[in-house]
């Protein structure tokens, strides 16, 4: 974003830790500034389900002592962090946006793996961020917590399902946030809110408890830029025995890999994945500009589609079946409390047969092979993150669009959950209403460092400079 930082809450995590090390300011000062922003962000956008001010300040005080001793606990010691309210956090409820989650007598004594790694590294937890019920859709509103608005215009959606995290990061309520992405859920809101997000290769970031949506669901960083995401990845990718599907240890550091070259990379620019998708002209022009910028940085860029068909029906089969399994234990009275849209897809998901599910798996495997073949010729695929910018808040689909489900307007995100590839989004402009536009960078499986490196180069080249949202 442009409008250079003038406030501690506007600094990146990388800049904060450098300031702590130099004695310019303390984690307590930074946390106090972020908590002030968090309260304002909550009032403006409803981005939080819980703000833990007392706990955050106490943690910041302990961090400050470590920095004075020259013994930080890790790379994010003292950095304010928020967590999407579907990930377990020790000592705080995880409500998942649902009135069916009961808190009476519950014991919240476990961290999700990514939360545990951040806590071990000294992160300061500011609060839990809003999500649609169980993270089921690409916008953020829920029966339990209401509607989350966009920081650029609260009448518009923040996107979802990690919408609260995106709004919080955009408004300075912590430079780092943990989100989850099962069909676009870090990339959609990051695109709509003008921040960076990465859906890493599946298994790269350990995940527990396992998602009801199975191996579609990833955990990923949501940050102000690619450098902060790399910093976060160096922490949250550490192994955790509770995730049976995690990948092996990372070779090297994501931060160190940012310095690699972009020159010589083979980049495919695909305006619509070769599908009949009406991409808004302002979006198309901004994404084309990123392709041109990569060419200017020395990459070999050509317009090319990956030659795949839209796998939306296979995605629906897997996604709706997962939702049905999620609510299977609920009785009729509890089901009546669910988001009506969630209830509809659960009813549909319960009707799929095992053979229909396995046929969707076949589509998924064929799609993965096709993308593997495509990446033999190209290191990176560039697409719009979304064909549109943020629409009215509180709606699953834009009015008058003709779509019935959220997947209708986000065709460029869910394919890469099916294939488990790394995919990032960064801002690349704004439309005529001043709403952010996102560009998506997709790499081959395991090429997370390359995706981060190219995104970092684009930030360095000024491709991601957009106006900051209005102060809340």
Residues 26, 47, 84, 211: which is the catalytic one? Answer: 84
Contact 151, 44 (CB under 8 A): yes
Closest-CA residue to 455 (of 466, 463, 446): 463
Residues 98, 161, 162, 270: which is the catalytic one? Answer: 161
Residues 162, 165, 185, 270: which is the catalytic one? Answer: 185
Strands 80-84 and 149-150: unpaired
Structure tokens at 126: 């500011």
Structure tokens at 82: 């928020």
Closest-CA residue to 233 (of 184, 281, 196): 196
* Catalytic annotation present for 84: yes
Torsion angle, alpha carbons of 181, 53, 168, 111, to 10: -10
Contact 238, 117 (CB under 8 A): yes
* Catalytic annotation present for 161: yes
Rounded Cα–Cα distance for residues 121 and 174 (Å): 16
Contact 113, 240 (CB under 8 A): yes
* Catalytic annotation present for 63: no
Contact 142, 342 (CB under 8 A): no
Burial class (CB in 10 A: 0-12, 13-18, 19+), 416: buried
Rounded Cα–Cα distance for residues 291 and 42 (Å): 36
Query: Cis peptide leading into 161, omega within 30 of 0?
Result: yes
Residues classed as catalytic: 84, 161, 185
């Amino acid at each position: 974003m442009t409008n250079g930082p003038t406030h501690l809450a506007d600094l990146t995590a990388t800049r904060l830790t450098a300031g702590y090390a130099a004695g310019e300011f303390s984690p307590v000062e930074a946390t106090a500034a972020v908590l002030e922003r968090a309260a304002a962000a909550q009032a403006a956008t409803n981005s939080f389900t819980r703000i833990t001010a007392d706990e955050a300040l106490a943690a910041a005080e302990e961090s400050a002592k470590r920095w004075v001793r020259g013994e930080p606990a890790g790379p994010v010691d003292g950095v304010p962090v928020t967590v999407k309210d579907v990930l377990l956090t020790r000592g705080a409820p995880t409500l998942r946006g649902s009135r069916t989650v009961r808190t009476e007598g519950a014991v919240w004594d476990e961290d999700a793996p990514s939360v545990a790694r951040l806590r071990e590294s000294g992160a300061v937890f500011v609060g839990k961020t809003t999500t649609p019920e169980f993270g089921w859709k690409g916008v953020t509103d829920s029966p339990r917590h209401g509607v989350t608005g966009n920081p650029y215009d609260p009448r518009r959606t923040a996107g979802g399902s990690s919408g609260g995290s995106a709004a919080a990061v955009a408004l300075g309520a912590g430079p780092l946030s943990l989100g989850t992405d099962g069909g676009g859920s870090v990339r959609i809101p990051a695109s709509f809110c003008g921040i960076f997000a990465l859906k890493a290769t599946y298994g790269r970031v350990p995940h527990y408890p396992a998602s009801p949506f199975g191996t579609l669901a990833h955990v990923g960083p949501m940050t102000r830029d690619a450098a902060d995401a790399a910093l976060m990845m160096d922490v949250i990718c550490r192994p955790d025995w509770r995730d049976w599907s995690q990948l092996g240890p990372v070779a090297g550091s994501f931060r160190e890999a940012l310095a690699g070259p972009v020159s010589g990379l083979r980049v495919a620019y695909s305006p619509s994945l070769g599908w009949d998708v009406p991409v808004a002209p302002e979006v198309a022009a901004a994404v084309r500009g990123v392709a041109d910028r990569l060419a200017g940085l020395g990459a070999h860029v050509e317009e090319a589609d990956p030659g795949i068909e839209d796998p939306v029906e296979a995605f629906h089969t897997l996604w709706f079946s997962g939702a049905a399994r999620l609510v299977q234990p609920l009785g009729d009275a509890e089901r009546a409390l669910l988001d009506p849209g969630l209830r509809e897809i659960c009813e549909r998901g319960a009707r799929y047969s095992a053979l229909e599910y396995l046929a969707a798996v076949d589509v998924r495997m064929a799609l993965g092979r096709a993308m593997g073949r495509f990446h033999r010729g190209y290191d990176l695929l560039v697409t719009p993150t979304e064909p549109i910018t943020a629409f009215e808040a509180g709606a699953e689909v834009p009015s008058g669009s003709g779509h019935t489900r959220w997947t209708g307007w986000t065709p460029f995100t869910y394919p890469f959950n099916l294939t488990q590839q790394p995919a990032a989004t960064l801002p690349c402009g704004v439309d005529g209403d001043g709403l952010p536009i996102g560009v998506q960078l997709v790499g081959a499986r395991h090429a997370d460092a390359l995706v981060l490196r190219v995104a970092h180069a684009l930030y360095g080249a000024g491709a991601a400079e957009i106006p900051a949202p209005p102060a809340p």
